[in-house]
Amino acid sequence: MHILLAEEYDIGLNCNDHSIRESADSEYVSFWEGEARKLEWFSPWSRALEWNLPFARWFKDGMINASYNALDVHQKSKSAKPAILWEGEDGSSRRITYGQLLEMVGQFAGVLASLGVKKGDRVAIYLPMVPELPVAMLACARIGAVHTVIFSGFSAASVRSRIVDSGSRVLVTADGGYRRGKIIPLKEIADEAVSHLDVTCVVLERTNQKIHMNPRDRLWSELVASPLDAVPLESSHPLFILYTSGTTGTPKGVLHGTGGYLTHVHSTFRWAFDIRDSDVYFCTADIGWITGHSYVVYAPLLCGATQVMYEGAPDYPDASRICQILQKYGITIFYTTPTAIRMLAKSGSPDTFDLSSLRLLGTVGEPINPSVWRWYYEHVGKKRCPIVDTWWQTETGGMMISALPGIETIPLKPGSATHYIPGIDIAIVDEEGRSVPPHTRGHLVVKRPWPGMLLTLWGDDSRYKEAYWSRYPGCYYSGDYAMCDDDKYVWLLGRADDVLKVAGHRIGTAEIEGSLVSHPQVAESAVCAIPDNLKGQAIAAFVVLKEGADCRRDLAETVRRDVGSIAVPKIICVVPRLPKTRSGKILRRILKAIACGEEIGDTSTLEDPGAVSDVSVAFARCQVD
How does DSSP classify residue 586?
B
What are residue 416's phi and psi, to 5 degrees? -110, 140
Restricting to residues 357-386, name those near ligand PRX by CB under 6 A: 364-367
Query: Burial of 36 by CB count in 10 Å (0-12 exposed, 13-18 middle, 19+ buried)?
Result: buried
Q: Is 446 left (phi over 0), alpha (psi -120 to 50) or beta?
A: beta
238 vs 246 by CB, closer to ligand PRX: 246
CA dist 220 and 552 (Å) reads: 42
CA dist 67 and 302 (Å) reads: 9
236 vs 244 by CB, closer to ligand PRX: 244
110 vs 288 by CB, closer to ligand PRX: 288
Query: Burial of 292 by CB count in 10 Å (0-12 exposed, 13-18 middle, 19+ buried)?
Result: buried
Binding region for ligand PRX (CB under 6 A) out of 191-199, 387-395, 533-541, 609-617: 387-395
Q: With binding defined as CB under 6 A, does residue 506 bind ligand PRX?
A: yes
Find residue 364's DSSP bridge partners. 390
Restricting to residues 402-421, name those near ligand PRX by CB under 6 A: 417
Give 191-246 as a 3 state SS string. HHHHCCCCCEEEEECCCCCCCCCCCCEEEHHHCCCCCCCCCCEECCCCCEEEEECC
The contact mask relative to ligand PRX for 557-586 (x = CB under 6 A, - = no) is: ------------------------------
344 vs 417 by CB, closer to ligand PRX: 417
Using the rule CB under 6 A, which residue among 392, 450, 477, 489 binds ligand PRX? 392
184 vs 387 by CB, closer to ligand PRX: 387
The contact mask relative to ligand PRX for 530-549 (x = CB under 6 A, - = no) is: --------------------
419 vs 506 by CB, closer to ligand PRX: 506
Q: How far is the CB of 504 from ligand PRX (least distance, A)?
A: 7
Binding region for ligand PRX (CB under 6 A) out of 9-17, 37-45, 157-165, 390-398: 390-398
The contact mask relative to ligand PRX for 446-485 (x = CB under 6 A, - = no) is: --------------------------------xxx-----
284 vs 393 by CB, closer to ligand PRX: 393
Q: How far is the CB of 495 from ligand PRX (least distance, A)?
A: 5
Using the rule CB under 6 A, which residue among 389, 498, 511, 562 binds ligand PRX? 389
Order across the sheet with 426-429: list the strands.
426-429, 442-446, 476-484, 490-495
Q: With binding defined as CB under 6 A, does residue 495 bind ligand PRX?
A: yes
Closest CA to 498 of 533, 532, 541, 562: 541
How does DSSP classify residue 435?
B
| Contact indicator for 542, 512 with CB cutoff of 8 Å | no
Q: How far is the CB of 494 from ligand PRX (least distance, A)?
A: 6
Query: Burial of 10 by CB count in 10 Å (0-12 exposed, 13-18 middle, 19+ buried)?
Result: exposed
Q: How far is the CB of 529 from ligand PRX (least distance, A)?
A: 11
| Contact indicator for 615, 594 with CB cutoff of 8 Å | yes
Contact positions vs ligand PRX (CB under 6 A): 244, 289-291, 364-367, 389-394, 417, 478-480, 492, 495, 501, 506
